[in-house]
């Protein structure tokens, strides 16, 4: 038992050392920059598309459900900014679409480069192949996000069906559903965006670790925001945006740490 425990700690130490040596903090900052620039155009475009199918108020309600993935204060800030833009009538769907495609594409390109550093792959590939791979994965991700957005009531319906079971409620079903989807998404991205042949089991291990750390971070970050008002005092009206940038940065760090786990396991 002690030997197995020692092996686990040695493995964790190896993972943390490799994670630090690869300058992952700078890589996460680069990804976060493009992710932050893409997030508002993405939600504006999402609202614009959904208003073709639903009323504007219902679209915003669905957006609120979707943003439960974020800590409360951050989700409120995003909703508030998107609502203000929509209310002012300045929803430039074409501009939003162009911005989303450009910045989100840059996110996946930089992310792919970060994964190549983490997995220590240095094979040369033609630019168009790397570009095509990132673009395809971006399209798949966008499609999955749209499906989740438009079927946001699915987990609610399932929870109502399972409420008769002991220890099962709406929150439990939604949380487990989120953990499942996040784990699968992370695992697939590790497997298909990296340049190595990796078993799905290893990718799934890294995806599960990243998901659990992300869920823990979400609750800790939410408590931190509630207890610390420093950002509002220092940054004033842009305090919420600073917190959003931090949230994206820490989320990317966790994602890349999951990739390191998948590599070293």
What would the 3-class secondary structure string for 238-256 be? HHHHHHHHHHHHHHHHHHH
Please report where in the chains the tokens 């786990």 appear, as a residue: 261
Q: Kindly provide the b/e burial profile for residues 200-210, where b requires at least 16 CB atoms within 10 angstroms of the residue's own CB.
A: eebbbbbbbbb
| pLDDT given at position 237 | 64
> What are the C-alpha distances in Å from 143 to residues 102, 140, 255?
16, 5, 20
Counting the structural domains of the chain, the total is 1
pLDDT tens track for 205-249? 999 999 999 888 887 877 776 666 666 666 666 777 777 888 889
Q: What is the pTM of this model?
A: 0.77
What the block records as the tokens of 209 is 């670790």
Question: Which pair of structure tokens corresponds to residue 192?
Answer: 């298909």
pLDDT on residue 58: 52
| Distance of alpha carbon 249 from alpha carbon 191, whole angstroms | 22
Q: Which domain holds residue 29?
A: 2-264
Q: What is the pLDDT of residue 121?
A: 79
Quick one: pLDDT at residue 228?
Answer: 61
Contact by Cβ (8 Å): 200, 187: yes
Q: Which residues of the chain have pLDDT under 70?
A: 1-6, 8, 44-94, 96, 122-135, 138-139, 141-174, 225-237
pLDDT at 249: 92
Contact by Cβ (8 Å): 256, 24? yes
């Amino acid at each position: 038992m002690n030997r197995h425990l020692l092996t686990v700690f040695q493995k964790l130490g190896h993972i943390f050392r490799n994670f630090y040596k690869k300058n992952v903090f700078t890589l996460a900052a680069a990804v976060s920059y493009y992710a932050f620039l893409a997030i508002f155009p993405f939600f504006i475009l999402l609202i614009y598309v959904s208003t073709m199918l639903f009323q504007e108020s219902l679209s915003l309600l669905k957006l609120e459900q979707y943003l439960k993935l974020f800590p409360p204060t951050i989700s409120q800030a995003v909703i508030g900014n998107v609502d203000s833009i929509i209310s002012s009538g300045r929803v430039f769907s074409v501009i939003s679409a162009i911005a989303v495609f450009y910045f989100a594409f840059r996110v996946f390109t930089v992310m792919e480069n970060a994964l190549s550093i983490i997995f220590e792959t240095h094979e040369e590939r033609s630019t168009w192949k790397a570009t095509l791979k990132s673009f395809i994965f971006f399209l798949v991700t966008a499609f999955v996000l749209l499906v989740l957005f438009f079927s946001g009531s699915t987990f609610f319906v399932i929870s109502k069906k399972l409420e008769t079971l002991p220890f099962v409620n709406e929150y439990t079903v939604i949380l487990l559903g989120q953990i499942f989807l996040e784990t699968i998404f992370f695992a697939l991205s590790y497997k298909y965006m990296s340049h190595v042949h990796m078993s799905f089991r290893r990718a799934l291990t890294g995806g599960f670790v990243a998901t659990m750390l992300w869920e823990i971070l979400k609750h800790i970050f939410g408590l931190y925001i509630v207890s610390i008002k420093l950002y509002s005092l220092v940054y004033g009206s842009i305090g919420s945006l600073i917190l959003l940038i931090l949230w994206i940065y820490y989320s990317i760090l966790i994602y890349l740490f999951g990739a390191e786990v998948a590599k070293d396991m």
